[in-house]
Amino acid sequence: MNVVYLSPGFPAEMPLFVRGLSQVGAAVYGVGDQPEEALAVEAREGLTDYLQVASFDDEPAVVAEIRRWLRGKSIDRVECMWERLMYLAATLRETFSVPGMSRSQTAIVRDKESMKQAVEDAGLRVPRHGRARTVNEAREVLERVGFPAIVKPIDGAGSVDTFRCNDQEEFESALQKTRHVEELSVEEFIEGEELTYDTVCAEGEVLFENVSWYRPKPMVLAQSPWISMQNIVLRDIHDEFPRPGVELGHGVLRALGFTTGFTHMEWFRTDAGEAVFGEIGGRPPGARLVHAMNYAADIDLFRGWAEATCYGRFSQDGTKRYNAAMIFKRAQGDGVVREHRGLDELLRRYGSHVASVELTPIGQPRRDWRKVVVGDGWIVVRHPELAHCLEISEAFVNDLLVVAD
Ligand SMILES: Nc1ncnc2c1ncn2[C@@H]1O[C@H](COP(=O)(O)OP(=O)(O)O)[C@@H](O)[C@H]1O
Ligand SMILES: [Mg+2]
């Protein structure tokens, strides 16, 4: 099994997927724009060979370079978990006749309007929506969408340039603030909780599935620097709260004809219990959520994904034993971290339920949470009962302060 893996060193979790591939016996050919020495040890140890390209920007040049490097070796998979290189991965699959997502399938998971259209065409609930390249088009879409509305980039990430608009004045102001964005999505604003539905699939079959719950909602978080984000992996995904999203997720995967690999869908749960589609990516969730899923089931999904991708099976037991909460801390104050206030007491109280704590060490500069998703550190706590898991998670949100000055 020969696998070409794009960007084995970046983003942060890629080396763990490389390690997973090598653990299931694949020969992994990494292609990246970093020097080999810069790769994390899991990537360096997991790779059979590595090609450093000068840049990924010139697609035909990269394809030619990879072709020369492989010298006729047969390739079974081309894998890429980084949004930015997903088209290149599809081009390589088409060039080397490798199974997996084609360019046209990739377009659907990269373009928020095409994906919503495909989901809507399958009869599933999506927000009223439309695409806009000009201010006038945006106003036309708004006519259909109504207030409250949301304005966001069509291929955005991380809630950047995303605005809720309650009236015409806020809408016009959002259009002003997004003038630099080439193409916008204008949507009906859905009130409700925001959750994920994540899977590992092979040949159209769901082998592992997950629901997690964002607290607070990502857009609120992006606008509120003092809040610690919590992401709760739910143990019982067939309970009343997550179930509508699982059902929606199954429909979405069918509608998109997704076959093999990780998927990460976001959905809204209205107070009436309806699931409304948000977006879907043909890749794993970011923000350490794969780690949180691992802690919930005591498994290694990096390896599980590799096994599913290479051999179409998932031999670990994916049953979740816990609800697992992932908490990201943001330091208070500027400058250097001086204190992890409250940590000792929290560990005394909840230590046996704390799976992992990694904070910016004392004496180091605080980090910019706009650039580093984990901010000033991440904590995983877990408990079989959801109410207890939430209580412990809240305690780490409220009673732990990373103090900088
Ligand atoms: N139709 C909508 N209704 C309510 N909130 C929305 C809607 N679309 C986006 N949001 C908010 O904005 C955030 C970012 O939007 P999303 O489409 O997920 O883009 P990305 O995560 O790529 O930035 C969402 O997580 C959600 O909090
Ligand atoms: Mg999103």
Per-residue pLDDT reduced to its tens digit, 361-376:
999 999 998 888 889 9
Residue that the structure tokens 């904590």 belong to: 379
User: Yes or no: is domain 2-100 CATH 3.40.50.20?
Assistant: yes
Rounded-to-integer distance, Cα 80 and Cα 93, Å: 11
CA–CA separation, 282 and 82 (whole Å): 10
pLDDT in tens, 173-230: 999 999 999 999 999 999 999 999 999 999 999 999 999 999 988 888 888 877 889 9
- Name the segment(s) of the chain with CATH classification 3.30.1490.20: 128-188
Q: Which ligand is closest in space to the CA of residue 110?
A: 1
The residue whose C-alpha atom lies closest to atom 2 belonging to ligand 1 is: 189
Tokens describing residue 63 = 């394809």
CA dist 196 and 265 (Å) reads 5
DSSP lists the bridge partners of residue 32 as 52
Give the list of residues 6+ apart from residue 176 with CB closer than 8 angstroms, or none.
none
pLDDT grade for 156, boundaries at 50, 70 and 90: confident
pTM for this model (two decimals): 0.95
Q: How confident is the model at residue 129 (pLDDT cuts 50, 70, 90)?
A: very high
Q: Which ligand is nearest to the CA of 154?
A: 1
Mean pLDDT lowest among 48-62, 149-163, 300-314, 321-335: 149-163
Q: How confident is the model at residue 6 (pLDDT cuts 50, 70, 90)?
A: very high
Ligand 1: residues with CB < 6 A are: 127, 150, 152, 156-159, 162, 187-190, 194, 217-219, 266, 278-279
How far apart are the C-alpha atoms of 403 and 308, rounded to whole Å? 43
* CA 226/CA 44 separation, integer angstroms: 37
The label of the residue with tokens 């949301």 reads 150
Residue 378 binned pLDDT confidence (cut-offs 50, 70, 90): very high
Pull the structure tokens for residue 261: 């690999």
Q: What is the pLDDT of residue 219?
A: 85
**Residues flanking ion ligand 2, Cβ below 5 Å:** 266
Question: Which part of the chain has CATH 3.30.470.20?
Answer: 193-404
Could you identify the atom of ligand 1 that is nearest to the CA of residue 219?
27
Statement: residue 258 has pLDDT above 80:
yes
CA dihedral sign of residues 331, 335, 337, 339: negative
Task: Indicate the top mutation candidate among 166, 187, 219, 229 to test ligand 1's pocket, ranked by most ligand atoms within 8 A of CB.
Answer: 219
Quick one: pLDDT at residue 373?
83
CB 240 within 8 Å of CB 222: no
Residue 400 is predicted with a pLDDT of: 97
Q: Does domain 128-188 have CATH number 3.30.1490.20?
A: yes
| Residues contacting residue 243 through CB under 8 Å, at least 6 positions apart | 237
Q: Which residue's C-alpha comes closest to atom 26 of ligand 1?
A: 219
99 pLDDT more than 80: yes
Nearest to 261 by CA among 293, 300, 306, 303: 306
Determine which residue's CA is closest to atom 7 belonging to ligand 1.
Answer: 189
* CA nearest ligand 1 atom 1, residue: 189
Q: How much is the pLDDT for 250? A: 98
**Consecutive H or E run containing 132:** strand 129-132
Q: Which residue minimizes the CA distance to atom 11 of ligand 1?
A: 219
Q: What is the mean pLDDT of the chain?
A: 95
Between the CA of 311 and the centroid of ligand 1 the distance, in Å, is: 35
Question: What does the alpha-carbon distance between residue 298 and residue 263 come to, in Å, rounded to a whole number?
Answer: 20
Mean pLDDT of 298-310: 98
> What is residue 287's three-state secondary structure?
coil
Whether residue 55 has pLDDT greater than 80: yes
How far is the C-alpha of 38 from the C-alpha of 35, rounded, in Å?
5
Q: For 193-404, give the CATH class.
A: alpha beta
Atom of ligand 1 nearest to the CA of 190: 3
- pLDDT at position 199, please? 98
Q: Whose Cα sits closest to atom 16 in ligand 1?
A: 159
Q: What's the confidence (pLDDT) of residue 112?
A: 85
Span 154-176, mean pLDDT?
92
Helix (H, G, I), strand (E, B) or coil at 332: strand
Which atom in ligand 1 lies closest to the alpha carbon of residue 155? 22
